[in-house]
Amino acid sequence: MKSICKFRQLVILGLLLVGNSALAAPEYLELLDFHLIDGSGAAPRHVDRLVARDGVIELIGSAGQAPEPEPTARWTRVGLAGAWVMPGLIDTHVHVARFPNAHVMAEKILGQSVRGGVTSVRDLTGDARALAEIERATGTGELVAPNIVFSALFGGPDIFARGPTAEMASGRPRGEAPWAHVVTEDSDLRQLIAEAKGSGTKNIKVYGDLTPDLAERLIREGTRQGMLSTAHATVFPARPGDLVDAGVGSLSHAPYLVWQAVETVPDDYGQRIAGPWNEIPANHPALLDLYKSMAKHGVTLDATLYVYKSMQSYPGVPKMDWTEAAFKWGVQATRLANEAGVLVTTGTDWFEPRDDFELPHTHEELALLVEAAGFSPMQAIVAGTRNGAVALGLQKTHGTIEIGKVADLLVLDADPLEDIHNTTRIRFTVRNGLVVDPE
Q: Report the largest interatomic distance among the alpha carbons of the chain, rounded to a whole angstrom.
A: 91
How far is residue 115's CA from residue 89's CA, in Å, rounded to a whole number?
11
Query: Closest by alpha carbon to 273, among 218, 311, 316?
Result: 311
What phi, psi does 119 have (nearest 5°)?
A: -110, -10
Give the β-pairing of 250-252 and 300-302: parallel
Pair 239, 259: CB distance under 8 Å:
yes
How far is residue 343's CA from residue 159's CA, in Å, rounded to a whole number?
29
DSSP class of 406: B
How far is residue 316's CA from residue 14's CA, in Å, rounded to a whole number?
61
Pair 99, 107: CB distance under 8 Å:
no
Strands (E), 277-367: 300-302, 344-345
Pair 280, 262: CB distance under 8 Å:
yes
The ranges of the chain annotated as CATH 3.20.20.140 are 89-398
How far is residue 8's CA from residue 223's CA, in Å, rounded to a whole number?
54
Strands (E), 61-192: 63-64, 74-87, 89-94, 118-123, 147-155, 176-177, 180-182
Give the chain's residues under pLDDT 50. 1-22
Query: Closest by alpha carbon to 108, among 304, 307, 360?
Result: 360
How far is residue 62's CA from residue 241's CA, in Å, rounded to a whole number?
46
CATH code for the domain defined by 89-398: 3.20.20.140
How far is residue 37's CA from residue 43's CA, in Å, rounded to a whole number?
7
Q: Is the pTM of this model over 0.75?
A: yes
The ranges of the chain annotated as CATH 2.30.40.10 are 23-88+400-439
pLDDT given for residue 18 in this prediction = 41
pLDDT given for residue 348 in this prediction = 97
What phi, psi does 337 have (nearest 5°)?
A: -65, -45
Q: CA geometry: angle at 92 spanning 90 and 97, to 5°?
A: 105
How far is residue 366's CA from residue 370's CA, in Å, rounded to a whole number?
7
Query: b/e for 98-114, b at 16 or more Cβ within 10 A?
Result: bbeebbebbbebbbbbb
- Beta strands across the sheet bearing 426-431: 63-64, 56-60, 45-53, 27-36, 74-87, 409-412, 426-431, 434-436
- Tell me the three state secondary structure of residue 427: strand
Pair 165, 216: CB distance under 8 Å:
no
How far is residue 207's CA from residue 233's CA, in Å, rounded to a whole number?
9
pLDDT given for residue 355 in this prediction = 76
How far is residue 72's CA from residue 69's CA, in Å, rounded to a whole number?
8
Fold of 23-88+400-439: Urease, subunit C; domain 1 (2.30.40)
Q: How far is CA 262 from CA 216, 288, 322, 334, in A?
A: 20, 14, 18, 19
